[in-house]
Structure 1
């Protein structure tokens, strides 16, 4: 039904009209700004996609690959890719050791697909393949991480080959010098082996670190903008493209309703609908659009259209800053600018394993800004239940400006493979405040059991009658718990395959983890707490790396 009146307890509102300005929106696509493919909102379509981030854009990409004849309408409440994808930290990194093996493999396939697509199409999104450093500042947490990686090496050596554990060297607790390496792949060059020390990784004060070889930084908005522009450019391009892709920005979806169509109704893109199949109507301030299939790629905002998801996908506000590197004098005019060389996760505090969950990438020079996010513990209620990204939390902003220099060696010169220190204390790096160029917030969709929800919505959650044709109805692909970049693309493909059948013979490419599938049984288990819930009984969230434990 169309949403009217006050929100229910826990239900998300609509994306606000005045969001904070993200670094990634500093160079918006002229083709996409204020874009409406047709002046008027179409009254009908084969498929309506709500949301234009990475999930919605790639769902449209896969739909048009599978069925060029389809008429696809995409609704976006704000500008294209103005939600979480356009407001994240610029990472794409699979959780190789911090997830079950089949989920890690799924995330690796996502990463490989995206990397290949960027290379094949020469997508100008500043994709930079690198290694990911996970620095742990809690001894108990790092000990558990080592156990997890050891178990992975025994059971799944092909996955374990993608990671290395970096430990403090013998005697380092007394002298503060030396680092050790465990599980280094034999194929690493000697120079790379030397770099794999805590000092060489620029985290001399950490208890230990894990290095993953499959990681990337990128400009996420430009990736999605390329996909959307390509879809729009294909409109009318040949007989096989008889269908269309219609993007309607600044058109929020305010409600849903379903009704059985009259016998005379036929789908406009050549697909048939029967009197037994419901027609879904999406309501907007500009009118309605109806289709036999609707995909909600709405992540944190899903419960606005489906109130039954209020306790399943919880909006949670995160915050990111783009920081100028510290001003330093090079030893010689020919010395290169600061290049931290990796992407980073910075996890845990000495007295609390889950009190820190920060993340960092660096933009290419110039200006080589450090894009640093996290600090949710300084936000009121950790940002849980907040769906308004129109402001920043000042305590988080201060933390992000001043914290990075205390955990990461930001010296201009190449870091040493050895660290200095003494007296039994860990070596430290220079604490300094960095100047922000952008500070912004974004809304993540935290899933109750930590996994995305992908699939057809059953009637018990607000979907249509459960005895309809399996490929007709209301679908959801959302709830990434702050980990969407290495999950969303093939999750979107899985949703498309559910909608139109997987006749491509490439099901192995997707092989969606069963934990991601939206079923009534999974929802009931999550609500009973059979899984490790991301949302605990007090409504607060485990830190982003909580599933390591």
Structure 2
């Protein structure tokens, strides 16, 4: 059975919306990058074109431009809108490896990416509000907690070095009294949870500022033709050049550009340029809100204060039918807090209330009111924001008003790329999928790109460099061999191959989000 035997039933994605919703993270755009075009006109050609300026595109450009493998390489970046105006600028502000619900190789890779990001932000003094935290995964259903705890226990047996990053909090731990466990859950502000898993490595950050910092530095240090950023220049089509050169031509409203290599860092929009990927990377719309926290009791010095959260959160529960729908989807909501004094709560999820669970939706100019209402009303409970926890925990008190509705400063949507087999696609695109020599992708993170994209981008740049060296006849082989050793090894699950495509097309089509493929897997749904 060949790769072309797969039947694509999903329609290709459209282009990014011209007037998207207003993300909290994009409220203060970088003035250097806003509307930036390295040259007034689009160049007719380049050595490499990177399509997309989110976290993948930014890191790929950094590794391309700052690498030593070709000092004269010209790199053009095309962005359909403004810099980082897609999923990276619209996410929940988390960077958290998923250790217990990922394959061990993927879990180890995500931990490596997390450490890389944490060091980068520190060593290069990147001002992106990075705060290292612990991640609390609160399970609001017993079955899914039992399954998650069993997965953590199995990991402890097979890969203790990975399980060392986890702590399972049980309500009914036989080694402790129920009262003590209730206090432990209450001290995490989740007194009604059936249990929790604490992940030792998690962070909150301002993702747009991270990407903007990387690209601003590239723009300043490497002027065209070395690096040429072209915003508001959507790539509308991609095809082999008709001159027999083996190069690729990208068409835009501002003209065409031809390159020896093209990297698609387009995530949920990949199938617009590669329709054969329509069933492999499916656009998925997520929704997020920035909520003003309720003010707590007056402190002794007077005045009111917002609660301070010391963790990032994920709230998970068993699948349940959405209102007026036969579809069932697990609950998977996520939360971080911005610094005081405002302390906005960045809360995302509620996708079971979204149209078609958000599957196949590529427009981010829409806020669904049912989801928005859910996000405003369903943060507390389950999260206890009523009283500050103490070392011994609080009394598990929830606010008297069950349907407390918080005020939203921003409500927005973003488009992610969900992979049919749940893993990112990194590498050269086969001819049977519309690719061939010189075309690469790094996309399809299934809503979990922050702890995977940076080193996935570095790995695909390594593949591009090796292909370039082969094309150039092995020049500078000794120096390149040294560079090879610096390239990360991505999980086998991420590698793009014809065999993987065949396997993926033997799996069900994408019908739900990351939570439907991860948490539902845990409970056998």
Match of 2:129 among 108, 126, 129: 126
Q: Give 1:110's aligned residue.
A: 113
* 1:457 aligned partner: 429
Change (3 A) 1:507 1:134: farther
Q: What does residue 476 of structure 1 align with?
A: 441
CA distance in 2, matches of 1:132, 1:364: 17
Separation of aligned partners in 1, 2:146 and 2:398: 21
Q: 1:491 aligns with which of 433, 450, 456?
A: 456
1:414-456 Cα distance to aligned partner (Å, 9 max, x none): 35644647xxxxx755531110000000001100000011110
d(CA) in 2 for partners of 1:217 and 1:506? 32
1:204: Cα distance to partner?
0.4
Out of 217, 230, 255, the residue aligned to residue 248 of structure 1 is 230
How far off is 1:331 after superposition? 2.9
Hey, what does 1:239 align to over in structure 2? none
SS in 1 for 2:167: strand
| Structure 1 residue corresponding to 2:191, chosen from 200, 204, 215 | 204
Root-mean-square deviation (CA, aligned residues, Å) is 2.6
Structure 2 residue aligned with 1:394: 369
Structure 1 residues 120 and 408: alpha-carbon distance in aligned structure 2, compared to 1, 3 A threshold:
same
TM-superposed CA distance for 1:261, in Å, is 4.9
How far apart in 1 are the matches of 2:105 and 2:481? 23
**Aligned-partner Cα distance in 2 for 1:24–1:58:** 19
Paired residues, what number? 492
2:378 pairs with 1:378: no
2:170 aligned with 1:167: yes
Offset from partner CA, 1:369-423 (integer Å, 9 cap, x none): 00000000011111111100101000000000000011001124235644647xx
Q: Which residue number in structure 2 is paired with residue 47 of structure 1?
A: 48
* Structure 1 residue 318: Cα displacement: 0.3
Pick from 381, 393, 417: which aligns with 1:445? 417
Mapped to 2, the partners of 1:500 and 1:306 lie a distance apart of: 22
- Partner of residue 285 from structure 1, selected from 253, 256, 268: 253
The whole-number CA distance in structure 2 between the counterparts of 1:539 and 1:110 is 23
Q: CA deviation at 1:523?
A: 0.6
Among residues 92, 96, 116, which one is paired with 1:89 in the alignment?
A: 92
Q: Secondary structure at the match of 1:52?
A: coil
Asked whether the 8 Å contact 1:281–1:288 carries over to 2, the reply is yes
* 1:186 matched residue in structure 2: none
Give the TM-score normalised by structure 2.
Answer: 0.88
Alpha-carbon shift at residue 172 of structure 1 (Å): 13
* Kept in 2: contact 1:295–1:475 (CA 8 A): yes
Structure 2 residue matching 1:257: 3-state secondary structure: strand
Q: Which runs of 5+ in 1 are unaligned?
A: 1-6, 181-194, 237-241, 263-274, 422-426, 465-471
- In structure 2, the gaps of 5 or more residues are 1-7, 322-327, 467-479
| Post-superposition offset of 1:155 | 1.6
Is the 2:113–2:455 Cα contact (8 Å) retained in structure 1?
A: yes
Q: Secondary structure at the match of 1:406?
A: coil
Shift of the 117–358 alpha-carbon distance from structure 1 to 2, 3 Å rule, reads same
In the other structure, the counterpart of 2:202 is: 215
Query: Alignment partner of 1:407: what SS?
Result: coil
State the distance in 2 between where 1:534 and 1:106 align: 26
1:411 aligns with 2:386: yes
Q: 1:344 aligns with which of 310, 313, 328?
A: 313
| C-alpha distance in structure 2 between counterparts of 1:72 and 1:284, whole Å | 17
Are the aligned partners of 1:24 and 1:219 in contact in 2 as well (CA < 8 Å)?
Answer: yes
Deviations 1:279-315 (A, max 9, x none): 0000001000101100000000000000001101111
Partner of 1:265: none
Q: CA deviation at 1:152?
A: 1.2
1:178 matched residue in structure 2: 180
TM-score of the superposition, structure 1-length normalised?
0.85
What residue number does 1:31 align with?
32
C-alpha distance in structure 1 between counterparts of 2:275 and 2:89, whole Å: 25
Corresponding residue of 2:471 = none
Q: Secondary structure at the match of 2:123?
A: helix
Alignment-derived partner of residue 472 in structure 2 = none
- Aligned residues of 1:382 and 1:541 also touching (Cα < 8 A): no
The 1:412–1:49 alpha-carbon spacing in structure 2 relative to 1, beyond 3 Å, is: same
